[in-house]
Amino acid sequence: MADRDTGVEKIEIGDGAAIPVPEDRGLLSAWWIALCGTIGLLIVLPLVKPDPYADILRFVPDGILVTFEVTIASISLALVVGLITGLGRISSNRFFNLLASLYVEVVRGIPLLVQLFYIYFALGRFVRVPDIVAAVIAMAFCYGAYMGEVFRAGIKSIDFGQTEASLSLGFNHRQTMMYGILPQAWRTILPPVGNEFIALLKDTSLVSILAVSDILRRGREYASESFNYFETYTMIALIYLLITLVLSRLISTMEHRLSHYERR
């Protein structure tokens, strides 16, 4: 996110699920309806029409596991990359700064799917890694750039006085970042990180193209054998929806918890 100073209120729409908050009542009731509807369909469809719906439900669970594995591994790596990138983007060292900016600019300019293919095949040339690892590296490489911007904005949102106070106590720059700034920045960073987490979870569906057996891959396999495309994708969509709905709620709860020290 570039800091634009145009004097207009800025709108930025993350690409995670909408995280419901008490203030937005329309969205909150929509959240509840969506959740109940999703769970309802996931229960009713297999009962009413076990073939194929119950079959599909039996077929995909290990895909859910893979999706979570890829998501968690990718986001962890992306957080590390993002932290380094974010620090680079605010660094006064011109070289690191430019390097980080360039990374961000290039990664944001190329579709994730192209990056996935590229890293998958390019990596394959030089090192021999399992495809799931290649997929994780590719996801983290891409999301690292977005995380970098999140960290940068988060760190910049912390009053510079905190840095000065920390330095004047005798902490060096690294310690200041670690004990003084990042623990506070975390709070500003958590909502967008949660957002990116959900976005990443959704984007892991792309690794199915690399034949990683995630939810979508399992669905495609089932569909290509049974030809129940419509039914299969219905269930796949419902499963994703359930996961993101629950996660988005968890994140909004966590966010609330994390800000305990700002309450009077």
Partner 1 sequence: MNDADPIIRIQNISKYFGTFLALDKVSLEVRIGEKVVVLGPSGSGKSTLLRAINRLETIQSGTIIVDGHDLYAPGEDINRIRMELGMVFQSFNLFRHKTVLENLTLAPIRLKKMAPDQAAAVAMALLDKVGMADKAGSYPVQLSGGQQQRVAIARALAMEPKIMLFDEPTSALDPEMIGEVLDVMVDLARDGMTMVVVTHEMGFAREVADRVVFMDAGAIVEEAPPEVFFDNPRHARTRKFLQQIL
Partner 2 sequence: ATDATWPPMEFVNARKQIVGYSIDYMKAAGREAGFRPVFKNTAWDGIFAGLASGKYDAICSSVSITEKRKKAMDFSEPYYTVRQALIVGRTSHARSLADLKGKKVGGQIGTTGYFAIKAAEGVIPKSYDEIGLAMEDLNVGRIDAVVCDDPVAANYALLKYKDTLKIASVIKTGQVEQYGIAVRKGNTGVLDLVNRGIRAVKAKGIDQELKKKWIGQ
Which residues of the chain form contacts with partner 2 (CB under 8 A)? 55, 59, 62, 117, 120-121, 124-125, 128-131, 134, 209-211, 213, 217-218, 220-227, 229
Task: Using CB under 8 A, pick the residue from 172, 211, 254, 256 that binds partner 1.
Answer: 172
Report in angstroms how near the CB of residue 212 gets to partner 2 at its nearest.
9
Amino acid at 251: I
Between 41 and 171, name the residue whose CB sits nearer to its own copies.
41
For 263: left if phi > 0, alpha if psi spans -120 to 50, otherwise beta; the answer is: beta
Q: C-beta of 182: minimal distance to partner 1 in Å? A: 10
Exactly one of 166, 204, 234, 248 binds partner 1 (CB under 8 A); that residue is: 166
Q: Pick between residue 84 and residue 129 the one whose CB is nearest to partner 2.
A: 129
For 206-263, what is the HEC assignment? HHHHHCCCCHHHHHHHHHHHHCCHHHHHHHHHHHHHHHHHHHHHHHHHHHHHHCHHHC
The neighbour count for residue 80, using CB atoms within 10 Å, is 13
Q: Give the contacts of 170 (CB within 8 A, at least 6 positions apart).
A: none
**Pick from partner 1, partner 2, its own copies, none: which does 255 bind, CB < 5 to 8 A by kind?**
its own copies
| Chain CA centroid to CA 246, Å | 14
Q: Tell me how far, at minimum, the Cβ of 129 lies from partner 2, in Å.
A: 8
Residues at the interface with partner 1 (CB under 8 A) = 159, 161-162, 164-172, 175, 179-180, 183-184, 187, 261-264
